[in-house]
Amino acid sequence: MPTTPDQAPDRRLRVAVLGPVRAWLGDRELSLGAARQRALFAVLAAAAGRVVGRDELIEGIWGETPPATAAGSVYTYISGLRRVLGHDLLTSGPSGYALQLAPEDLDSERYLRLVQRGGELTEAGDLRGAAAVLTEASMLWHGEAYAGLTGHRLELERTRLTDRRLTAIELRARAGIELGEEDAVANLTARVRDYPLHEPLHELLMLALHRTGRRTEALEVFRAARRTLLTELGVEPGPALTELHQRVLTGAAEPAAGRPVPPVLPAQVARALRDGLDGRALTGRDTELAELRQLARDVAAGRGSAVWIEGEPGIGKTELLTAAFADAAELGCQVAWGVADELDQHVPLQVVTRALGLEAMSDDARVATVAQGLHEGNAEDASLAAVADRVLAYVRAACAIAPLVLVVDDLQWADESSVLFWDRLVAATSRLPLLLVAAARPEPSGHELAQLRRSVQNRQGHAYALPALPEPAIEAIVTRLVGAPIGPHLAAVVPRSGGNPLCAREMVTALLRRGAVRVTDGRADIDAAEPVEAPRSLLAVVQATLDFLSADTQEVLRMAALLGAQFAVDDVVAVTGRSPFDLMANLEEALSANVVVDAGDELAFRHPFLRQALYESIPAPARAALHRHTAEVLERGGSPVTRVAEQLAAETPAVDEWVVAWLARRHAEVVKRAPMVAGGLLRQALGTSVPTAEQRAVLLVALVRLEFRSEQWPMDEAREAAEIAGDPADRAEMRQLLAVMTFRRGDQETAIEMLERSLVDPDVPEIWRTRHRVVLANFRRGDLDDLDRADRTAERLRAEAEAADQPYEAAFALQTSWLTHSIRRDHERALEYVDRALDIMRDHPTFAGMYFDLLDNRMFTLQNLDRLDEAERTLREAALFAIRHRLPSSLQVASAVQYYWLGRWDDALAEVSAVTDDAPGITFLGMREPGAVSMLLHGVAALIAGHRDDADLAAGHLDSADVLPATDAERESCDFLLVARALVAEQQDRPAEALDILAPLLVPEYAPMMLRHQWLPDALRLALAQGRRDIAEHAAALCAAEAGKEIRRARAWAASERCRALLAEDPEPALAAAEHYRAVGRVPELAAALEDAAVLLAVNRRPHEAARTGAEAAELYTVLGARWDLRRTHQRLAEVGIDPTRKAVSAG
């Protein structure tokens, strides 16, 4: 138990983290050891008594790329700390370690409680009490939190505590100002010196000086703040500081106390909030507004959800969102908000990253670091999937700090990868304090958006289709615009707007600008002859707004429209070729007309339709040339490659020397960040005579790689690239890709000839020689649709290879026979083949990789034969082999699976942690496919976390592998992941969904090598609980068929016995299965079989045996740390009148 205040004084542990990390036992300060050991202690202290798993400790100290020795280091640090603390204060269990520390004995917890109390007293009006509590809180700080220590978890904690410290400083300062404290100015001056970039402190210092009559000094504070912000961050002061400056200049009253944390908002939304839209009634949308505001309150309380809002342009989606979430920051939420536009269709994930503020040039150093790391690494590591994983990790980290409201408007413009990623976020809302809000226009051909809408609805989300407003609502909008009740002629606007509020506003605004509206006797009206015609389109109404601008200003704005919905003045200067002085009058006119609005250090169009109208007013033939010119200007200015690519992709460019040179120089980055754009540009460039021979070779290689990964077959381009590429490695790669494409088109003979010719080329690098050999062996083997034919082919190839003294080819042929017999479940014969292959490879160190693959195959077979001791010896052999041949990893995947079934779950998690992103993981098929490896490893970890009732850890691993299996290897490797997802659904009381998730297990053709029998008893149990006996009988039949293939009784037989027991309500088969699991050492399956047997014994009126068997199951689950299974066992047995706890105690 955590230490308590009434504990013996000499054994009471106290910890300080608000400064250097220190600890005391009684009055004696403890020596916590070196930095890493102190960091581990700090992570445990931050958990304040909660059990922290080893996996979490490793991530907290080393982040996402721990060293291979991390697990061992954790044990070392734990041992070192126990020598200081003793075993009673640093305890361990099946699921991790805990520091027995009461919250009141951790200074950061005391600090947070004091700050919360200070905030409550402030809200209650007790400023004196608040000041006293906040002063007490400030005395707990002795420097930077966790000073001198590094680590992912500690950085998050440090950031969280620093943010709370700044909040407390603001609260204390405001209280001091309101109380008229004499030292308020002096204290704030010191705080501004400590935190010169924290704008609210400058604001408070200005306010304190102004209230004491020191107006000149207050104005100097603003000037100093502006200089600091411009020099250090390159930004102007924000709205609050600027408005206070204006009040001080004019002598107006001070602004009200209290300032929300500034959210990430697009310009038009920020402007609407600043102008008071959040305090204005939203006409005609009362129901939707109330429900959305409730969702904001729900997420502030930790309950996430997803929202889909759909409606025609101008129907009021943005106003509804703005009104609904205006106070989200005040509720304690972080707010991230983005608006998509047409250019976003060309750059993957740009919509989401922009909404989250993930910009490499961000003022927040942490955000900038994350943004810069999104696309680091080689092309494979920086794939869209990898980038999406990093963005998802960022969202999870943000949600760990505070609830997050993430809004994207105009999602119909988003690229496909953003839409798919949004679906992943929708799935995550059930596990995170995340309110996910998307607004889009209805798109008749928008298949992906329709699927996304259904996904929101299927996951208990909220979907709204905004209809046209009724005429009374439109009349209220018009009345508010003109400032008086409307007369009969002006009322003609109401029906002609079609219920579209934007249309109504723009029509009335046009009338006001023409001076056509007059107020007489308290009623606003227009002449009967004044035309009020229904617009041909909403764009026509918007164009009427633009017609009030001068022709020169419209021309400048057309150039700005090329840059997108938001643009920098410097870019407009560069694109137009005008000086900033010459542009000033145009931009001021646009700002005054409310066509363009201030967006911090940039400008933005007030509404997307304004930009669209300007853009479409550019003659179509001129657009391509203008985009081409803009691309070059942006490149010279150092803009990101995606912005340049957007311009070239917006219209078909005229390919010239600059375009080709840029593409040849930047193609790798364009392919990585905008593959669709890259493919189009590469083909356009190659379709001209502009590229030089060297440039053509570079562009051809890039195009072939890109299109091959997209499962296109650029055979002519690959053939040409193989001839003209200057790099021998590029030539070899092109030959191999050409051979693969030829093979996939059915010409096996030609494909084999291609690679055989390449193998005898002396210029082929050795790495490509090895890759050729692997692919060539696959070609010769053929497909596995007919297992008997595959066996005959493998035997023929083995004999030919041995006669020709080709050891690799002979071993590969034997591996094929291993594979076919594994699919048949004839594991005895499969073992013979893999051992023969190993004998061939053992004396050939050149083929170390193949030998390693074969050891992995052997592990798979031994596990199926329940020869787990021998499998353990194979693991040790593999580890020694990896060390001897300097391979980057051992058999982590096979090890994790082995340890899972042996019940060594902490060791399994250690193996998962040991696999880094760049290590070539190996699945049980001997295939080095990162996607399959990720699914299997995260599936194992997620399943363990689920059994241990660790929802956060399970969610983290599920999110990390939250993709659908796409390849054969991924389908074969996804079973742990499927079962983990089903377990989470069952835990969330969604048993029908859990059963649906397990559906692939019931289809043998889905993945022939998948060991589905090991999961079928659980699927059968779920089916019976749902009253789906048809599914239960199908599962039992599948399991029996698998068992029938076993030459000797093993895993499938035991699983089939469990299924038979559950289906017949007969405990004997379950008891027989339990004895088998006990004999071979499969602990989790033994516990599950005993649980089933105990329930069935009780059903069959054998209560004493049921209690004894249930107690053993409970004991095993306790050893595993499987809290969920233990709770389920107690519940199932309680339903049949058995209490295993009482029996377990008496038996002990």
Instruction: Give CA–CA dist 305/291, Å, rounded.
Output: 12
Asked whether residue 529 is domain-assigned, the answer is yes
1055: phi then psi, degrees, rounded to nearest 5 = -65, -40
Residue 503 has pLDDT above 90, yes or no: no
370: pLDDT confidence band, cut at 50, 70 and 90? low
Residue 294: per-residue pLDDT: 93
Count how many domains the chain has: 6
147: DSSP letter: B
Q: What is the pLDDT of residue 1093?
A: 95
Summarize the confidence of residues 648-672 as an average pLDDT.
85
**pLDDT at res. 968:** 62
CB 305 within 8 A of CB 461: yes
pLDDT exceeding 90 applies to what percent of the chain? 16
User: Does 600 share its domain with 558?
Assistant: yes
The CB density around residue 444, as the number of other CB atoms within 10 Å, is 6
CATH number of the domain that residue 16 is part of: 1.10.10.10
**Residue 883 and residue 789 share a domain:** yes
Instruction: Give me the pLDDT at residue 924, please.
Output: 30
pLDDT for the residue 909: 79
Residues in a beta bridge with 93: 96
Least confident span in 63-72, 260-269, 992-1001:
260-269
Q: Which of 262-266, 645-649, 779-783, 802-806 has the lowest mean pLDDT?
A: 262-266
Highest mean pLDDT among 523-537, 904-918, 962-976, 1029-1043: 1029-1043
Q: How confident is the model at residue 371 (pLDDT cuts 50, 70, 90)?
A: low
Mean pLDDT of 1067-1095: 93
Kindly report the average pLDDT of the chain as a whole number: 81
Residue 386 pLDDT > 70, yes or no? Answer: no
Residue 732 tokens read as 């070899």
Distance CA 842, CA 1093 (A): 46
Secondary structure (DSSP) of 103-123: GGGBHHHHHHHHHHHHHHHHH
pLDDT band of residue 1065 (cuts 50, 70, 90) is very high
Establish if 422 belongs to a structural domain.
yes
Does residue 365 lie within any of the structural domains?
Answer: yes
Residue whose token pair is 């059963």: 995
22, 112 Cβ separation under 8 angstroms: no
**1086 vs 1077: CA distance, rounded Å:** 5
Q: What would the mean pLDDT of 1142-1148 be, rounded to a whole number?
A: 39
Whether residue 131 lies inside any domain: the answer is yes
Q: What is the pLDDT of residue 913?
A: 65
In tens, the pLDDT along 712-768 reads: 788 999 999 999 988 898 999 899 899 989 988 888 889 889 988 998 898 888 778
The DSSP-derived string for 339-408 is E--GGGGGSTTHHHHHHTT--TT-SSHHHHHHHHHTT-S-TTTTSHHHHHHHHHHHHHHHHHHS-EEEEE
Query: pLDDT confidence of 836, banded at 50, 70, 90?
Result: very high
- pLDDT at residue number 1124: 92
In 3D, which of 1051, 1048, 1133 has the Cα closest to residue 1084? 1051
Question: What pLDDT score does 114 carry?
Answer: 92
Based on the fold, state whether residues 477 and 397 are members of the same structural domain: no
Stated pTM of the model: 0.51
Report the pLDDT value the prediction gives residue 281, as an integer from 0 to 100.
61
Report CA torsion sign: 150, 153, 155, 157.
negative
Are 293 and 441 in the same domain? yes
Regarding whether 1126 and 991 lie in a shared domain, the answer is yes
Looking at the fold, whether 988 and 1113 belong to one and the same domain comes out as yes
pLDDT over 70 (residue 231)? yes
CA distance linking residue 79 with residue 83, whole number of Å = 6
Whole-number pLDDT of residue 145? 87
Question: What pLDDT was estimated at residue 914?
Answer: 57
In this prediction, residue 257 has a pLDDT band, given cuts at 50, 70 and 90, of very low
Q: Which of 77-91, 357-371, 597-611 has the lowest mean pLDDT?
A: 357-371
Quick one: pLDDT at residue 547? Answer: 77
Where is the domain boundary, 465, 492, 507? 465
306 φ/ψ angles, rounded to the nearest 5 degrees = -125, 145
Query: What are the tens digits of pLDDT across the range 571-629?
Result: 888 888 888 888 888 888 888 877 888 776 788 887 777 888 888 888 888 888 898 88
918 plus 787 within the same structural domain: yes
- Asked if 515 and 601 sit in the same domain, the reply is no
Q: How confident is the model at residue 1148 (pLDDT cuts 50, 70, 90)?
A: very low
Give the CATH number of the domain where residue 1010 resides. Answer: 1.25.40
More confident residue, 657 or 278: 657
Asked if residue 729 belongs to a domain, the reply is no
Q: The tokens of 497 are what?
A: 């707007």
| pLDDT higher than 50, residue 919 | no
List of residues 6+ apart from 430 with CB closer than 8 A: 304, 459, 460, 988
Same-domain status, 369 and 426: yes
* pLDDT tens digits, 22-45: 888 888 888 887 778 888 899 898
Which of 80-94, 143-157, 1046-1060 is most confident?
1046-1060
569 versus 381: the higher-pLDDT residue is: 569
Alpha carbon distance 58, 76 (integer Å): 13
Query: What pLDDT is stored for residue 254 in this prediction?
Result: 45
Query: What per-residue confidence (pLDDT) applies to 1?
Result: 44
- Residue 698 in any domain: the answer is no
Residue 400 vs residue 833, higher pLDDT? 833
Whether 764 is covered by a domain: the verdict is no
Residue 1143 pLDDT > 50: no
Report the range out of 456-470, 601-615, 1079-1093 with the highest average pLDDT. Answer: 1079-1093
Which among 439, 465, 491 is the end of a domain?
465
| Band of residue 703 on the pLDDT scale cut at 50, 70, 90 | very high
Quick one: pLDDT band at residue 641, thresholds 50, 70, 90?
confident
Q: Which helix (H) or strand (E) is 24 found in, with range?
A: strand 22-25
Together in a domain, 812 and 889: yes
What phi and psi, each to the nearest 5 degrees, are found at residue 1014? -70, -20
Q: Which among 981, 961, 965, 962 is positioned nearest to 973, based on CA atoms?
A: 965
Q: What is the mean pLDDT of residues 81-109?
A: 84
- Provide, rounded to the nearest whole percent, the portion of the chain with pLDDT above 70: 86
510 to 499, 532, 552, 553, 592: CA distances (angstroms): 18, 10, 21, 19, 15
Same domain (yes/no): 8, 41 = yes
- Averaged pLDDT, 83-95: 82
The pLDDT tens digits of the residues spanning 952-969 come to 778 777 876 655 554 566
Start-end of H helices in 497-640: 501-513, 538-546, 551-563, 569-576, 580-592, 608-616, 620-636
Q: What is the pLDDT of residue 439?
A: 92
State the CATH number of the domain containing residue 273.
Answer: 3.40.50.300
Expressed as residue numbers, the domain containing 158 is 1-181
Q: Does some domain include residue 200?
A: no
Tell which residue, 914, 919, 932, 924, has the closest CA to residue 871: 924
Residues 520 and 419 grouped into a single domain:
no
Q: Given a cut of 90, is residue 247 above it in pLDDT? A: no
Contacts of 1077 (CB under 8 A, 6+ apart): 1054, 1083, 1085, 1086, 1089
